[in-house]
C-alpha cells in the first residue's frame, strides 16, 4: 500500500447514505486487514457483494511439501515447464513453508471465473508476457518485469494478451514495502530505491451492472470453496483507502551501488511474514580499484535463499539459464563457482536481472522441485577435473 488512493464516485463521509440514480442505496464494503487495525479501503458496489447463491466443494490439490533432505543447495530448471493454463491452474509449486509458497506458471489462456485468495497476499512477478489484471477496484495493464501485489481477499482475473510466465508467491500474511524505506508518515524516503510515482494503481472504469451466476474460486490456507454469487464482482462505482492491488516494474528500480560489494538487503523490494524479497537489476559494479564484483562465499545460517533468474548474464553461476531457480539452504555454504571471481575482475557493470526471496524458516520441496531439479548442482563448486564421475 504505497499511499492513499481514491477513485470513482464517493459519498462525502464514510458510512452515510449514498444513493444510486434510481434512489436505492449503494452497498458499502469495508475491505480491511488485521481486523480493523491496519490498512483498509472502502468500496461502493451497485449491489451487495454478499449475495451468495451456492457454496460448493472446490477440489484443489494442496501442494505436498517434503523436507529439503538431504540438506543441500539445489537448482531447478523451470523453463522446461510445459503445462500451460490459466493464471491459477497453470501454477506448479516449487518450494514452500508455512509462511510462503513459490510456484511458476506459464499462462496462455484467460480466466473464465473469478479467484480470491483470502489466506494471504499474493505477489506475482511477470517474467515475460503482458495482459490485464482485472479487479473490483479497476484494471491494471501488466508487462514483463512487473511485480503485481494482490492484497488478501482481492477478487481477480488475470487475462493474458500474450503468453505470460509468472513467478507466484503466496504469503500467509501481507506483502509490504520495507519499513526502512518509509518515513514516520509512510512516505518513501529519499534513499529508497523507488518512489511513489513508480507504483501503478488500478484504473476504475464503469461498474459492471449485471446479475447472474458468477463463479468465484476461493482459497484460504488449506480451505477451499467454490462460490456462486448473484452480483457481478466488478460492480464498484468508487473506492478509497490504502488497501488495493498495485504494480511495480523492476525496470524502475534504482539500485544502490557502492565502492565495495553491497549485500542483498540494499536491493530489497518487499517483505512479508517470514520472508524478504530483493531484486538484482542491471547496475554498475563496485568502484574500488581492487573490488571483487561477484559475491563472496557465504553461509547465511538463518535463512534459505531463493533466486529466480530472469535475464542477462549470471556471472557467478555456472549452468544457470533464464527461468532457473536456485535454493541456497541455510547450513550449506555457497558462493561464486570456480573461475567466476577471476572472470569478474575489472568488469564495470552487469546486465543480470534476478529476483530473490529469503525465508527465515526452512523451505521444503514441492512437486515441481522434483520435476525440474538439476541433481548435480551441489557439486558445481568443484574445479573442473576435480569431480570424480558418479
Ligand atoms: Fe547468497
Q: How far is the CA of 142 from the centre of ligand 1 (A)?
A: 29
Can you give the pLDDT at residue 203?
Answer: 98
Q: How far is the CA of 359 from the centre of ligand 1 (A)?
A: 12
For residues 147 and 127, is the Cβ–Cβ distance under 8 A? Answer: no
Q: How far is the CA of 300 from the centre of ligand 1 (A)?
A: 7
Q: How far is the CA of 314 from the centre of ligand 1 (A)?
A: 13
Q: How far is the CA of 40 from the centre of ligand 1 (A)?
A: 36
What cell numbers appear for 134 in the block?
Answer: 482485472
Q: How far is the CA of 335 from the centre of ligand 1 (A)?
A: 7
Domains of the chain: 51-65+81-234+244-249 (2.60.120.10), 252-379 (2.60.120.10)
Q: How far is the CA of 76 from the centre of ligand 1 (A)?
A: 16
Pairing of strands 223-231, 349-350: unpaired
Output phi, psi for 372, to 5 deg.
Answer: -105, 5
Q: Taking the CB of residue 251, how many other CB atoms lie within 10 A of it?
A: 13
- Each residue of 107-149: pLDDT tens digit? 999 999 999 999 999 999 999 999 999 999 999 999 999 999 9
Q: How far is the CA of 295 from the centre of ligand 1 (A)?
A: 8
Q: How far is the CA of 334 from the centre of ligand 1 (A)?
A: 7
Residue 207 CA neighbour count, 13 Å, CB half: 22
In angstroms, the CA 273 to CA 169 distance is 12
Dihedral of the alpha carbons of 2, 4, 6, 10, in degrees to the nearest 10: 150
Does this model's pTM top 0.85? My answer is yes
Can you give the pLDDT at residue 390?
Answer: 43
In angstroms, the CA 247 to CA 146 distance is 6
Q: What is the mean pLDDT of residues 308-316?
A: 84
Distances (CA, A) of 156 to 114, 202, 243, 349: 6, 12, 14, 39
Distances (CA, A) of 273 to 123, 154, 176, 245, 335: 13, 19, 9, 18, 26
Calculate the CA 172 to chain-centre distance. 13
Q: How far is the CA of 72 from the centre of ligand 1 (A)?
A: 14
Residue 387 confidence (pLDDT) above 70: no
Can you give the pLDDT at residue 300?
Answer: 82
- Each residue of 172-225: pLDDT tens digit? 999 999 999 999 999 999 999 999 999 999 999 999 999 999 999 999 988 999
> Which of 361, 359, 367, 330 minimizes the C-alpha distance to 81?
367
Q: How far is the CA of 150 from the centre of ligand 1 (A)?
A: 27
Q: How far is the CA of 388 from the centre of ligand 1 (A)?
A: 26
Please state, rounded to an integer, the average pLDDT across all residues of the chain.
94
Q: How far is the CA of 285 from the centre of ligand 1 (A)?
A: 17
What pairs with residue 55 in β-bridges? 227
Q: How far is the CA of 123 from the centre of ligand 1 (A)?
A: 21
Least confident of 32-36, 213-217, 230-234, 354-358: 32-36
Of residues 274 and 388, which shows the higher confidence score?
274
Can you give the pLDDT at residue 389?
Answer: 42
Least confident of 34-48, 242-256, 372-386: 372-386
In angstroms, the CA 20 to CA 13 distance is 16
Q: How far is the CA of 328 from the centre of ligand 1 (A)?
A: 7
Q: What is the mean pLDDT of residues 50-79?
A: 92
Can you give the pLDDT at residue 338?
Answer: 87
Q: How far is the CA of 43 from the centre of ligand 1 (A)?
A: 42
Q: How far is the CA of 278 from the centre of ligand 1 (A)?
A: 11
Please name the residue that has the C-alpha cell 525465508: 359
Amino acid at each position: 500500500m504505497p499511499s492513499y488512493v481514491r477513485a470513482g464516485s464517493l459519498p462525502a463521509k464514510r458510512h452515510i447514505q449514498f444513493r444510486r440514480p434510481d434512489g436505492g442505496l449503494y452497498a458499502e464494503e469495508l475491505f480491511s486487514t488485521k481486523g480493523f487495525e491496519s490498512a483498509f479501503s472502502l468500496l461502493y458496489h451497485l449491489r451487495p457483494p454478499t449475495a451468495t447463491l451456492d457454496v460448493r466443494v472446490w477440489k484443489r490439490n494442496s501442494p505436498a511439501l517434503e523436507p529439503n533432505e538431504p540438506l543441500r543447495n539445489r537448482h531447478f530448471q523451470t523453463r522446461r515447464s510445459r503445462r500451460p493454463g490459466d493464471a491459477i491452474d497453470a501454477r506448479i509449486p516449487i518450494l514452500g513453508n508455512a509462511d510462503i509458497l513459490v510456484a511458476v506458471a506459464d499462462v496462455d489462456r484467460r480466466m473464465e471465473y473469478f479467484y480470491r485468495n483470502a489466506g494471504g497476499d499474493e505477489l506475482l512477478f511477470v517474467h515475460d508476457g503482458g495482459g490485464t489484471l482485472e479487479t473490483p477496484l479497476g484494471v491494471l495493464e501488466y508487462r514483463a518485469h512487473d511485480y503485481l501485489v494482490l492484497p488478501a481477499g482481492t477478487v481477480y482475473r488475470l487475462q493474458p494478451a500474450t503468453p505470460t510466465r509468472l513467478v507466484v508467491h503466496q504469503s500467509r500474511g501481507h506483502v509490504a514495502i520495507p519499513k526502512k524505506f518509509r518515513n514516520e508518515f509512510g512516505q518513501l524516503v529519499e534513499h529508497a530505491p523507488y518512489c511513489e510515482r513508480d507504483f501503478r494503481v488500478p484504473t476504475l472504469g464503469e461498474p459492471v451492472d449485471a446479475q447472474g451466476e458468477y463463479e468465484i474460486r476461493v482459497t484460504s490456507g488449506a480451505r477451499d470453496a467454490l462460490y456462486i454469487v448473484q452480483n457481478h464482482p466488478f460492480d464498484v462505482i468508487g473506492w478509497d483507502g490504502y488497501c488495493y492491488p498495485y504494480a511495480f516494474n523492476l525496470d524502475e528500480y534504482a539500485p544502490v551501488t557502492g565502492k565495495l560489494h553491497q549485500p542483498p538487503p540494499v536491493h530489497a523490494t518487499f517483505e512479508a511474514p517470514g520472508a524478504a524479497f530483493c531484486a538484482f537489476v542491471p547496475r554498475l559494479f563496485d568502484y574500488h580499484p581492487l573490488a571483487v564484483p561477484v559475491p563472496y562465499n557465504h553461509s547465511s545460517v538463518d535463512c534459505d535463499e531463493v533466486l529466480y533468474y530472469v535475464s542477462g548474464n549470471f556471472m557467478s553461476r555456472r549452468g544457470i539459464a533464464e527461468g532457473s531457480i536456485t535454493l541456497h539452504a541455510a547450513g550449506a555454504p555457497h558462493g561464486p563457482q570456480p573461475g567466476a571471481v577471476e572472470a569478474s575482475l575489472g568488469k564495470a557493470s552487469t546486465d543480470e536481472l534476478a529476483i530473490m526471496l529469503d525465508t527465515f524458516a526452512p523451505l521444503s520441496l514441492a512437486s515441481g522441485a522434483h520435476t525440474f531439479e538439476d541433481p548435480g548442482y551441489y557439486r558445481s563448486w568443484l574445479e573442473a577435473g576435480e569431480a570424480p564421475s558418479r
